[in-house]
Amino acid sequence: MVSEGLLTVRREGVRITEELQKLIALEDAARSAGKGRWGSSPTYEHVRNIKWTQENLRNFVDQANGKPIRAIIEHVRDGSTVRAFLLPDFQYITLMISGIRCPGFKLDVDGKPDPKVQVKYAEEARYFVESRLLQREVEIVLESVNNANFVGTILFPKGNIAEALLREGFAKCVDWSMAFMKTGAEKLRMAERQAKENKVRLWEDYQSNAQIFTGKEKDFTGTVIEVFNGDAINVKTSTGSIKKVFISSIRPPRESTAANVEEDGKIAPRSKKIRPLYDIPWMFEAREFLRKKLIGKKVQCILDYISPARDNFPEKCCYTVTVGGINVAEAIVSKGLATVVRYRQDDDQRSSRYDELLTAEAQAIKGSKGVHSKKEGQAHRINDLTVDHSRIKQQYLPSWQRALRTEAIVEFIASGSRFRVYIPKDSCLVTFLLGGITCPRSSRPSLNGVPAQEAEPFGDEALAYVRDRILQRDVSLHIDTTDRNGQAVIGWLWTDNNVNLSVALVEEGLASVHFSAEKSEYSRQLRTAEDTAKAQRKKIWANWVEEEKTEEHHEEKEDKVTERKVNNEKVLVTEVASDLKFFAQHTDQGTKLESLMAKLRQDFQVSPPITGAYTPKRGDLCAAKFSEDNEWYRAKVEKVQGGNVSILYVDYGNKETVPSTRLATLPPACTSDKPYASEYSLAFCKLPTDEDDKNEALRAFKEDVLNRELFLNVEYRVNNAPFVTLTNPDTNEDIFKGLVSEGLLLVEKRREKRLLKLSEDYKVAEDSAKKAHLGIWEYGDITEDDHDGR
């Protein structure tokens, strides 16, 4: 320092030594060279202008822009807080080290460390820092502010001092300040994990609460098929199973209670049922972000932790989800469409990439994005036409009909042909029905007192087929009309790869062509698709036989016929159902049926079936042992529930529920014959609504027709189902008209010209029963009562 002109040598009153002479020589040389205080410049130029305070800490951090600043550590308050001069301007700052906290000192009433209170490892942590940084030049990266202090990282020749403190067990990670770090957060976590594993100092009694999973549980890939409200998805794995995946450590937008607070400070009750997706600000945007990014995409899911079931909420498996290497949680948090869950410092059940989430959230807050916006979020207002049906025809239908294609999002699928769609252009929710097809009904669970509904054959398969292709996907619609009640729209839907869904369902054998399709421009495509499905015996056409082809255009031909045709067929009525439908066998096929039954029973006598070897499946044609005579018959499986199976004996029309052990695989030689019993409905007639009247009508009908040979004539068809009249071959009396004249059945009018005379005859019979007050007309005209009640 003498040689640099920074100190002077005392020459008077001291003993001259060799050491002193060397210092005097150095001083003389410095004076000659004009160094330091021996220079010619004014002394005030060498006085430091120290800036003890900063006016705007945030601006100062922003101006530094994350670049390292040279500094000298002047004081170490505790292991994670220092005071320093920033060079070259001598800015004096208090700095809290990012990402960590060391044990601090208890202060007395004067604000000074109280020597009476010893905090474990506080002194050792401060000494650790002092011995490495005090009065030394380092680099500081300013990252944020906290009250009147700066928050930043200190870099010294051997690296990051925070990392060294963590590794030695002198500090713990803190999430709030780690979020400000541009880089190095993972190294801090790794250093802390190392200290925990070694149980060093602060971690000497550490016990981990992190869950341990096997590799198979922890890691899987699959395709996203559904997105829930901002924090969960359904993923279909390679095995076909569906897993609900919650995204780790994030929380979707929440409903604000500020707007619902009353003057007395209490939260006002909701005026209507809330729909989170639309009524919570930013929730719709969060769902849309995930939907567009994930639906139909392959994702990798790594299990982080499992939240146990509590209250009314089930157990939740929380994963880190990545798509194309991008962390989905980090992406949605960075857009301000989700927030990061805060945990206790000793809680290890969190995302494996938690620090990245904190960094992303800090950036979103800085950019005032999404839920962090300074403006109050607004609910996503929609026109719910699934509730307010009156506006469909009046306000929206004309414009939808004019449009060639209308873009939409499929929000919910009720069955293979019934969906709820959202139309962004009009902000509308509406029920949409696929045009041109008839799709099997899918099953429905019991809900709000409504009993569960069993699926029709292949109804659930159709539902699954449609879900995989259009749920929450962008689709195009062409809307033709509404249903008869005006509560839903009917039209055509194209998937995101431009496939007509109606045609696709028919091609797969999961739907049949509806007669309304004949007027459509897609009629030919649908008929071709149906012919292909029939030829390949797909799904609903598995038991279809060629002869049915002649019935395809029967209805439309009937409309053109002006005279009634009588083509009596002799039948034997074998079963009457509770809805007035009945089954009948053609008597000319009796010999064939007897031969088939004999062959079936002979096959089982030669090769008896193994009890329990057959596994029934809905829609199967099998052999069943009838409970009344213990003989084998052909049957169709209609429902499987536990060990019991509901079946229809296809050659007779009767039904029963039997144990699965009474079923067997049908011998191949007995499968080719089509069912010998056909189902028919009564022409011109319907049952009364009163339960007692209905039972009396069914009793009389069974008495007149069951197990009797009668003449059957097909009068008309509805959806290809035959409606017939039955006449007594001996007396030529119309059985059904006789029941009407006895006041047991109601007449249903038909408008076809060829049926006018017969329809009028039935009406005359009904009027006669009314005048005589017979049966259901005993106390007057029940049709007038029905009219008054409507």
Residue 320 in contact with residue 248, Cβ under 8 Å? yes
Note whether residue 48 is domain-resident: no
pLDDT given for residue 520 in this prediction:
86
CA 272 remoteness from chain centre: 24
Confidence of residue 269 (pLDDT cuts 50, 70, 90): low
Torsion (CA) 522, 527, 529, 534 in degrees, nearest 10: 160
Tracing tokens 């029709």 back to the chain, one arrives at 456
Residue 235 in contact with residue 224, Cβ under 8 Å? yes
- State the sign of the Cα–Cα–Cα–Cα dihedral 657, 662, 665, 669: negative
Q: In the chain, what percentage of residues exceed pLDDT 90? A: 54
Note whether residue 8 is domain-resident: yes
pLDDT given for residue 789 in this prediction:
38
- Mean pLDDT score, 527-537: 92
From the list 704, 658, 667, the residue with the least C-alpha distance to 685 is 704
Buried b (16+ CB within 10 A) or exposed e, 540-568: bbeebeeeeeeeeeeeeebeeeeeeeeee
Same-domain status, 536 and 387: yes
The number of beta carbons lying within 10 Å of the beta carbon of residue 538 is 18
CA distance 365 to 751: 71
CA 506 remoteness from chain centre: 26
Q: Is the pLDDT of residue 624 over 50?
A: yes
- State the sign of the Cα–Cα–Cα–Cα dihedral 747, 750, 751, 753: negative
CA 60 remoteness from chain centre: 46
Torsions phi, psi for 533 (to 5 deg)? -65, -40
From the list 159, 160, 135, 290, the residue with the least C-alpha distance to 225 is 290
Tracing tokens 């905090």 back to the chain, one arrives at 119
pLDDT tens digits along 461-491: 999 999 999 999 999 999 999 988 889 999 9
The number of beta carbons lying within 10 Å of the beta carbon of residue 263 is 6
Same-domain status, 689 and 667: no
Confidence of residue 45 (pLDDT cuts 50, 70, 90): low
Q: Tell whether omega for the bond before 457 is within 30 degrees of 0, i.e. cis.
A: no
DSSP state letter for 670: G
Q: Which residues contact 83 (CB under 8 A, 6 or more apart)?
A: 73, 74, 75, 77, 92, 93, 94, 95
- Mean pLDDT score, 731-757: 90
pLDDT given for residue 266 in this prediction:
54
Question: Counting every residue, how long is the chain?
Answer: 790
Same-domain status, 34 and 84: no
Same-domain status, 507 and 595: no
Q: Tokens for 765?
A: 């019979």
Higher pLDDT pick, 122 / 4: 122
State how far the alpha carbon of 787 is from the alpha carbons of 751, 755, 781, 782, 784, in Å: 21, 26, 10, 9, 5
Same-domain status, 641 and 767: no
pLDDT given for residue 790 in this prediction:
33
Residue 376 in contact with residue 461, Cβ under 8 Å? no
Note whether residue 608 is domain-resident: yes
Count of structural domains, the chain: 6
Note whether residue 561 is domain-resident: no
Residue 86 in contact with residue 71, Cβ under 8 Å? yes
> Mapping DSSP to helix (H, G, I), strand (E, B) and coil, where does residue 753 land?
helix
State how far the alpha carbon of 152 is from the alpha carbons of 53, 65, 91, 187, in Å: 17, 12, 15, 15
Q: In the chain, what percentage of residues exceed pLDDT 70? A: 92
Q: Tokens for 329?
A: 């949680």
CA distance 298 to 325: 11
Q: Tokens for 692?
A: 């007692």
Same-domain status, 151 and 241: no
Same-domain status, 406 and 312: no
State how far the alpha carbon of 415 is from the alpha carbons of 266, 385, 511, in Å: 43, 19, 11
Residue 711 in contact with residue 575, Cβ under 8 Å? no
Confidence of residue 551 (pLDDT cuts 50, 70, 90): very low
Q: Which residues pair with 646 in a beta bridge?
A: 639, 657
Q: Using alpha carbons only, what angle is made at residue 523 by residues 521 and 527, rounded to the nearest 5 degrees?
A: 155
Confidence of residue 257 (pLDDT cuts 50, 70, 90): low
- Mean pLDDT score, 451-457: 80
Same-domain status, 249 and 195: no
How do beta strands 91-97 and 149-156 pair? Answer: parallel
Q: Is the pLDDT of residue 355 over 90?
A: no
Confidence of residue 623 (pLDDT cuts 50, 70, 90): very high
Q: Which residues contact 15 (CB under 8 A, 6 or more apart)?
A: none
Q: Is the pLDDT of residue 785 over 50?
A: no
Last residue of a domain, one of 521, 542, 563: 542
The number of beta carbons lying within 10 Å of the beta carbon of residue 602 is 11
From the list 357, 313, 321, the residue with the least C-alpha distance to 337 is 357
Q: Tokens for 29?
A: 């040389």
Confidence of residue 786 (pLDDT cuts 50, 70, 90): very low
Q: Is the pLDDT of residue 713 over 80?
A: yes
Angle between helices 354-366 and 185-198 (to 10 degrees): 150
Q: Is the pLDDT of residue 783 over 90?
A: no
pLDDT given for residue 32 in this prediction:
87
Last residue of a domain, one of 203, 235, 267: 203
> Mapping DSSP to helix (H, G, I), strand (E, B) and coil, where does residue 346 land?
coil
pLDDT tens digits along 561-611: 567 888 899 999 999 998 889 999 999 999 999 999 999 999 888 888 888
| H helices, E strands: number in the chain | 22, 36
Tracing tokens 């079946």 back to the chain, one arrives at 647
Note whether residue 557 is domain-resident: no
pLDDT tens digits along 183-194: 888 899 999 999
Confidence of residue 239 (pLDDT cuts 50, 70, 90): confident
Tracing tokens 């169709």 back to the chain, one arrives at 636
Residue 295 in contact with residue 473, Cβ under 8 Å? yes
- Mean pLDDT score, 622-650: 91
Q: Tokens for 433?
A: 């029905």
Q: Which residues pair with 319 in a beta bridge?
A: 247, 303
Residue 552 in contact with residue 691, Cβ under 8 Å? no
Same-domain status, 5 and 133: no
Note whether residue 495 is domain-resident: yes
- State the sign of the Cα–Cα–Cα–Cα dihedral 608, 610, 612, 616: negative
pLDDT tens digits along 360-408: 998 899 889 999 998 888 888 899 999 888 899 989 999 999 988 999 9
In angstroms, how far is the first alpha carbon of the chain from the final one?
110
Q: Tell me the residue type at 75.
A: H
pLDDT tens digits along 115-150: 788 889 999 999 999 999 999 999 999 999 998 899
Averaged confidence pLDDT in the chain? 87
How do beta strands 655-659 and 644-648 pair? Answer: antiparallel
Q: Which residues pair with 429 in a beta bridge?
A: 384, 422
Q: Tokens for 354?
A: 């938690």
Q: Tokens for 268?
A: 């006002």
- Mean pLDDT score, 18-35: 87
CA distance 785 to 790: 9
Note whether residue 268 is domain-resident: no
Last residue of a domain, one of 631, 658, 677: 677
Query: Is this structure's pTM higher than 0.75?
Result: no
- Mean pLDDT score, 713-726: 90
Note whether residue 565 is domain-resident: no
Same-domain status, 78 and 176: yes
Q: Tokens for 710?
A: 């009668």
From the list 729, 716, 648, the residue with the least C-alpha distance to 682 is 716
Same-domain status, 605 and 534: no
CATH code, 281: 2.40.50.90
Domain range holding 740? 678-789
CATH code, 618: 2.30.30.140
Q: Using alpha carbons only, what angle is made at residue 786 by residues 785 and 790, rounded to the nearest 5 degrees?
A: 115
Residue 485 in contact with residue 525, Cβ under 8 Å? no
Q: Tokens for 363?
A: 């950036």
Same-domain status, 391 and 360: no
Residue 242's H or E segment, with its range, is strand 242-247
